[in-house]
Amino acid sequence: MGLVTAEEGGLTDNKRNRLADLVERSVDLDGLLELAAPLPELIERTTLSMPRASSVRIGVAHDAAFYFYYRDNLALLKAAGAELVYWSPLTDNTLPVIDGLYVGGGYPELHASALGANKAIRNAMRVFGDEGRPIYAEGARLMYLAEALENLDGTTHPMVGLLPATVRMRPQRLSLSYTEVTLQADSPLGPSGTVARGQEFHFSSLDPVPASVSRVYRLCRRHGDECDEGYQIGNALLSYVHLHFASNPRIAESFVTACAEARTTRRHR
């Protein structure tokens, strides 16, 4: 469930063997493998069917605070022509030379003090967004790009400030659901009408976001309720939803294309 990070360990050989035995006894593995399209085959089909944008550099935030990414997403971005450049919001003072940012999930609340103290990288992120360069932030990264983050002990730490609202940790308010997303407007992930699937899993709540901030997503959760989410500010798209790009590989192509177009625009200024 992601309640213990990989760095914290906890998966002993005994637990691993018990889990393997449980899966073998409870899951029709042959049937599952027959239904599942191998990722290399999916990437090959996608690569052949999509026009590749000229190579762009996409910064991927990766450290102890942010590390949750679907490997399929990263593979599909590379298949669409992106070079992935890894960097750390915890320890880096500047952003690498990049055309766009993909910032995924993790546990920023465990590192809120250090993230808040790194003012240089927070300012660099804010400038990157204010310049209209593409940012796709999901899950915990929405928390980092908000105005501030309030921990369980009530301490509030400044964050990037791109999204004008505060995130507050609320362990009694678990959000957990598979989700289908329909884009209601054009965005860095594709045109209006694009559909993709993902999941939500978080214990935090977001203060009311001003109505002036566009809601690009229409969420349809597995248990039936619907709502508007997916906050778009300039060319930045922020959401609690972790999209699985293999549910619609075109969104990887769209994001790479958006990064390439933004780079071209900046060069012609």
Domain ranges of the chain: 37-267
Mean pLDDT throughout 196-217? 89
CA 122 – CA 223 distance, rounded (Å): 37
The pLDDT score that the predictor gives to residue 223 is 74
| pLDDT tens-digit readout, 105-134 | 888 888 999 999 999 999 999 999 999 999
- For residues 240-268, average pLDDT: 90
Specify the pLDDT at position 6.
Answer: 59
Q: Write 151-156 long-range contacts (CB < 8 A, 24+).
A: 151/109, 151/112, 152/109, 155/112, 155/113
Q: Give 88-110 pLDDT, tens digit per residue.
A: 999 999 999 999 999 888 888 88
CA atoms of 57 and 84, how far apart (whole Å): 6
Reduced to 3 states (helix: H, G, I; strand: E, B; else coil), residue 119 is helix
With cut-offs at 50, 70 and 90, classify the pLDDT of residue 52: low
Residues 100/262, Cβ–Cβ less than 8 Å: yes
What does the block give as tokens for 120? 């240089």
- State which of 49-53, 66-70, 80-84 shows the largest mean pLDDT: 80-84
Q: Which fold has domain 37-267?
A: Rossmann fold (3.40.50)
- Please give the model's pTM, rounded to 2 decimal places: 0.83
